[in-house]
Copies of this chain bind each other. A is one copy, B any other.
Amino acid sequence: MDPTTRRSTPRLSRPDLRADLGAGITVAVMLVPQAMAYAMLAGLPPIVGLYASVAPLLVYAGLGTSRQLAVGPVAMVSLLTATGVGAIAASGTDQYLAYAVLLALMVGVIQIAMGLLRLGYLVNFLSHPVLSGFTSAAALIIGLNQLKHLLSVPIPRGHHVHTIVLEAVRGLPSANMATLAIGLGAIAALVAVKKWAPKVPGPLIAVGGATLAVWLFGLGGAGVKLVGDVPPGLPRPALPAWDPVAVRQLLPIALTISLVGFMESISVAKVFANKHGYRLKPDRELVGLGAANLASAAFGGYAVTGGFSRSAVKDQSGARTRLAGAITALGVAAALLFLTPLFQFMPNAVLSSIILVAVYGLVDVAEVRHLWKTDRVDLGLLALTFVATLGFGIEQGILAGVGASMIVFVARRTRPHFAVLGRLPGTEVYRNVNNHSDAMREPGVLALRFDAAFYYGNVTFLEDTLRRLEADEDGPLRAVILDAAAINSLDSSAVHALEGIARDYQARGIRLLFAGVKGPVRVVLERTGLDERLGKDNLVLTVCDAMDALGAPCPGETAANGGAA
């Protein structure tokens, strides 16, 4: 068995230490180039990505509940940062950097508050198709935004796909060929390593090779944009500048990052918690991530969360405890202390290549194909989210998707499946007469099963269906039996409707019985006094008992006055 499964109070053994050391260093090797690339995607100097990869990791190692989760800069949160901060400041300015740090602080506060208020369950509102459509669109936006680095042509930041493509095509003749060569070469190398040597740290190879090439061939003079001079050393702690106007402007994106970042992180963490058989505490995870974001802001970094690819590497390379994350942080700190001189030869294009290869896998075509075959409505939700994200923006896309998911969920229940029931001969089992041609109906008695909670959205359908079925009967009805086994709940609109139905039937001498009312529904009936008004004799256990109460034959052990029809 996996050694992580049995440990409830982690005490570090020597093999654990060795495993965490190896995993931590492996992740650090992967993280250094990725963090720089994602910071660039966020519109920030690459060094900020490294600042966001030290303190947050140490804090999460102390407060988080996942042992495999690798926290740090990720693509989605970087894109969201770029969208939010880009709307109120120009990339490259001090203001932009200050706002990005402020945003991380806000995300930290929001996530901790959400955790303390136990709001982790809000992620439940993000459905699978919405997440898939949103992720694919975001990946596309991220990818297209890299074209400017790859071609070295100026393309204004934005997410209007057609504008970006148009500008890229227009800029193609003036593209810097050396930059393009570095970018395409790096992509080829990354893809090749991924395919044929998955254990080799591709990003490190690509960055190392490209940096070497720039230095060897003096490509800095050939117009290749470089990361350039950065101050060596660790970031110093500082309070982010508080700006009430900016806070108000950044609030929507901060909420989005808090939720989407947590969603991504908890999904990844769950995969590995399931694999190793330990339990996560979602609300504690929120606090851990929030604290990591506060730490990031305190040390000049930007918003972070747990990402999939590095977590997978961390798990594969044998991380056993949360110490592995702390070791990764020390590795990044070492890079900050000793490797910064190399950055003056590191081309931006190679960082773009890393992003491009990373997000390519996020475009989820398989899900589209799957839903096309299985669920066209959910495919519609995916498509809506995808289009809205591309056309109107990141938060708008998520909001549209979440809203539409809710509408679809409610709408799908406005016309629930129902069945007229008949008795299978010789049994006390009642089944849909349309599926069982031998099921026998009792004349003058309408036995019905509605497969849905009763709520405001389907009370009209319920009323109409009862009336229509009554009109379709050959003779007058003497009783209606509602099989309530599938009625999982009852809201106040439904209570009103049932009262009206019962009153109408009473006035016309038709008896209304409920069979198999479940606990939660019974509670509502009692609290509203509807059980009294329906008559307690009319609440029975099974459809067979209801027939019994009507004096209709229903053989079997529960029928006191039985006898076959």
Q: A413 — which chain B residues lie within 8 A by C-beta?
A: 453
A375 touches B412 (CB 8 A): no
Which of A76-84, A351-359, A456-464 is the contact stretch?
Answer: A456-464
Q: Mark A460-474, 1 if CB is under 8 A from B, else 0.
A: 110100011001000
B410 touches A406 (CB 8 A): yes
Count chain B CB atoms within 10 A of each CB in A270, A374, A488, A528 and give the residue with the most: A488
Closest residue to A280 on the B side, CB-wise? B464
B493 touches A128 (CB 8 A): yes
Q: A129 — which chain B residues lie within 8 A by C-beta?
A: 492-493
The residue from B405, B463, B486 contacting A456, defined by CB atoms under 8 A apart: B405
Q: For the complex formed by this chain, how many copies does it contain in all?
A: 2
Q: Mark A334-361, 1 if CB is under 8 A from B, else 0.
A: 0000000000000000000000000000
Q: Give the distance to chain B from A504, nearest Cβ to Cβ, in Å.
A: 6
Q: How far is B126's CA from A542's CA once the two chains are assembled, in angstroms?
A: 33
Q: How far is B457's CA from A519's CA once the two chains are assembled, in angstroms?
A: 22
Q: Mark A389-410, 1 if CB is under 8 A from B, else 0.
A: 0000000000000000111011
Count chain B CB atoms within 10 A of each CB in A121, A373, A432, A492 and give the residue with the most: A492
Q: Mark A182-210, 1 if CB is under 8 A from B, else 0.
A: 00000000000000000000000000000
Q: A167 — which chain B residues lie within 8 A by C-beta?
A: none
A417 touches B488 (CB 8 A): yes
Closest residue to A485 on the B side, CB-wise? B485
A520 touches B460 (CB 8 A): no
Q: Give the distance to chain B from A454, nearest Cβ to Cβ, in Å.
A: 12
B409 touches A460 (CB 8 A): no
Closest residue to A508 on the B side, CB-wise? B277
Count chain B CB atoms within 10 A of each CB in A128, A414, A519 and give the residue with the most: A128
**For the complex, is A274 an interface residue (Cβ under 8 Å from B)?**
yes
The residue from B128, B406, B486, B528 contacting A406, defined by CB atoms under 8 A apart: B406
B493 touches A127 (CB 8 A): yes
Q: A519 — which chain B residues lie within 8 A by C-beta?
A: 417, 432, 435
Q: Which of A480-509 contact B (CB under 8 A)?
A: 485-486, 488-489, 491-493, 495-496, 500, 504
Q: Give the distance to chain B from A273, nearest Cβ to Cβ, in Å.
A: 9
A124 touches B412 (CB 8 A): no
Closest residue to A416 on the B side, CB-wise? B488
Closest residue to A467 on the B side, CB-wise? B279
Closest residue to A529 on the B side, CB-wise? B374
**For the complex, is A178 an interface residue (Cβ under 8 Å from B)?**
no
A124 touches B414 (CB 8 A): yes
B417 touches A456 (CB 8 A): no
Q: A527 — which chain B residues lie within 8 A by C-beta?
A: 373-375
Q: A457 — which chain B residues lie within 8 A by C-beta?
A: 124-125, 127, 409
B451 touches A121 (CB 8 A): no
A528 touches B414 (CB 8 A): no
**For the complex, is A518 an interface residue (Cβ under 8 Å from B)?**
yes
Count chain B CB atoms within 10 A of each CB in A127, A270, A459 and give the residue with the most: A127
Closest residue to A493 on the B side, CB-wise? B128
Q: A130 — which chain B residues lie within 8 A by C-beta?
A: 456
Q: A370 — which chain B residues lie within 8 A by C-beta?
A: 492, 528
B491 touches A488 (CB 8 A): no
Q: How far is B173's CA from A402's CA once the two chains are assembled, in angstroms?
A: 54
Q: A468 — which chain B residues lie within 8 A by C-beta?
A: 279
- Sample 17 A-B pairs with CB under 8 A, ordered by A number: A124-B459, A124-B461, A125-B410, A274-B504, A279-B468, A370-B528, A371-B492, A374-B492, A374-B495, A374-B527, A375-B528, A409-B410, A412-B489, A413-B453, A432-B519, A451-B489, A453-B488
Given contacts A124-B456, A371-B492, list 4 more A-B pairs with CB under 8 A: A121-B460, A124-B414, A375-B524, A413-B453
Instruction: Mark A residues whose CB is within 8 Å of B.
Output: 121, 123-130, 270, 274, 279, 370-371, 373-375, 378, 405-407, 409-410, 412-417, 432, 435, 451-453, 455-461, 463, 467-468, 471, 485-486, 488-489, 491-493, 495-496, 500, 504, 518-520, 524, 527-528
Closest CB pairs A-B (n = 10): A127-B456, A128-B493, A378-B492, A451-B488, A374-B528, A375-B492, A406-B406, A124-B457, A124-B414, A374-B527
